[in-house]
Amino acid sequence: MGQTLVEKIFSRKLNRRVSAGEIVVSPVDLAMGQDGTAPLAIQAFRNMGARKVFDPQKVVLVIDHVAPSTSEGTSKLHMLMREFAREQGCKLYDVGYGICHQILTEEHDRPGMIIVGADSHSCMHGAFGAFATGIGSTELAAVMASGKLWFRIPESIKVTFDGQLARGVTSKDLVLHLAGILKADGANYMSLEFGGEVLKSMSMDSRLTICNMAVEMGAKCGLMEPDRVTEEYLGEPVPIISPDRDAEYKDEVQIEVEKVEPQVAKPHSVDNVCSVREVEGIEVNQVFLGSCTNGRLEDLRAAATILKGRKVREGVRMIVIPASRRIFLSALAEGLIEIFLRAGCVVGSPGCGPCMGGHIGILGPGEVCVSTSNRNFLGRMGSEQAKIYLASPLTATASAVTGKITDPREFL
């Protein structure tokens, strides 16, 4: 019997054949913690009696969730991370560098790696053909001390995107559509292995969006084969890591993408999905363009195509936050930031921003937000009486212009 992509990655790392269901202890190539999880990991690391991280080059800390700090308590946590990074010699990306996941794609990710992050959306890095998954703070402490972690090799679901994308439909629409099919627990502790003709022509920015949201269906990881697009993004040759033709899958899902329209996830769950047409006309108070899901340059460009020469509707707040400093600089060079500002948007420094309701864009009772982020849970962005609709950058921006949830194809 052949092997799935996740079985291939672990087999390469352990230098022996592994199969789904097997429990292994594997070396870790990269371990990451952010300001919501790293302080707890540092405390646990010290409580374990550990003195040195296993490899300073493989431990990364990022201050991105509440950045810049909004309180003395948060500042103390940031200071703890800075002190630990200096003490251990590991890499710290301080306030303004950007979101942890985007930074890793720009500086660290490579195919075949085993990547763990104390953040649930660490599965995003599977777009490179790496096994990447979220872990808890105590697990991160153990990895920082030992360089290893145990895993149960997950079973896999094969997801094939067939056909060609219709006008106004993006990778965000595809993954929302998939979440509506699989539901929030449809891939619990499984690997979602993405393939199909659509992916071959899809940019790395779009691929990252799909893998980012694998966890919203309960998946342990989301994976794609490294190919020429991966090589172009990294600027270097990549190893061939492909599933075998006779690999065994727990289930298979085929999606004819021509039939997929622009999608939204309605409050208060990511799998509560419908077409934009079904909720058109709902009045909007805030629009958020950003996050580790859709704050990349491709997303900003898409929004700018709608906003150029137009204004955000009076009474609507549109917050734009690039996912990293590199993206911000590129957007400046291309004139995108000027388009956003002239349209009436608020542009923030790179970071998580409103996504997790830490300090920017907090929603009040009864307010409605269209967000390009990955979660719309009750109270996620502020008041429990607020409502969050997840959508693509095109749908979000169209909604900002009209002041109500709008099908972006009206502007294309």
pLDDT digit string (tens) for 12-45?
A: 999 999 999 999 999 999 999 999 999 999 999 9
Same domain? For 61 and 167 the reply is yes
Judged on CB neighbours under 10 Å (0-12, 13-18, 19+), 175 is buried
End-of-domain residue from the set 218, 237, 255: 255
* Segments in 49-93 forming alpha helices (H): 72-88
Same domain? For 70 and 116 the reply is yes
Same domain? For 133 and 172 the reply is yes
Nearest Cα neighbor of 370 from 348, 339, 410, 397 is 397
Same domain? For 101 and 167 the reply is yes
The total of structural domains in the chain comes to 2
CB 271 within 8 A of CB 217: yes
Query: Which whole number is the average pLDDT over 102-115?
Result: 98
What is the C-alpha separation between 228 and 379, in angstroms, rounded?
41
**C-alpha to C-alpha distances, 175 to 21, 202, 329, nearest whole angstrom:** 26, 13, 28
Q: Average per-residue pLDDT in the chain? A: 97
pLDDT of the residue at 184:
96
What is the C-alpha separation between 383 and 372, in angstroms, rounded?
18
Same domain? For 208 and 100 the reply is yes
Same domain? For 50 and 154 the reply is yes
Neighbours of 159 (CB within 10 A): 28
pLDDT of the residue at 253:
97
End-of-domain residue from the set 255, 288, 306: 255
Same domain? For 194 and 271 the reply is no
Which two structure tokens, joined as six digits, stand for 104? 């890793």
Nearest Cα neighbor of 135 from 157, 151, 146 is 151
Same domain? For 44 and 159 the reply is yes
pLDDT of the residue at 338:
98
Same domain? For 105 and 240 the reply is yes
Measured CA angle at 148 (ends 143, 154), to 5 deg: 105
Q: DSSP letter string over 185-253? A: TTTTTEEEEEESHHHHTS-HHHHHHHHHTGGGGT-SEEE----HHHHHHHTS--------TTB--SEEE
pLDDT 10s digits, 209-226: 999 999 999 999 999 999
- pLDDT above 90 coverage of the chain, percent: 99
* Comparison of pLDDT for 358 and 328, the residue scoring more: 328
Whether residue 313 has pLDDT greater than 90:
yes
End-of-domain residue from the set 255, 287, 304: 255
Cβ neighbours of residue 28 closer than 8 Å, sequence gap 6 or more: 58, 114, 115, 116, 143, 147, 148, 149
pLDDT 10s digits, 270-299: 999 999 999 999 999 999 999 999 999 999
pLDDT of the residue at 1:
83
At residue 358 the predicted structure's pLDDT band, cuts being 50, 70 and 90, is: confident
Neighbours of 259 (CB within 10 A): 10
Neighbours of 110 (CB within 10 A): 18
pLDDT 10s digits, 163-195: 999 999 999 999 999 999 999 999 999 999 999
Query: Which whole number is the average pLDDT over 62-83?
Result: 96
Same domain? For 194 and 301 the reply is no
Neighbours of 18 (CB within 10 A): 21
Query: What per-residue string of b and e applies to 60-96 under the rule 16 or more CB within 10 Å gives b?
Result: bbbbbbbbebeeeebeebbeebeebbeebebbbbebe
Q: In this structure, what CATH number is given to the domain that contains residue 292? A: 3.30.499.10
pLDDT of the residue at 287:
98
Same domain? For 116 and 52 the reply is yes
Same domain? For 321 and 381 the reply is yes
Domain that holds residue 33: 5-14+22-255
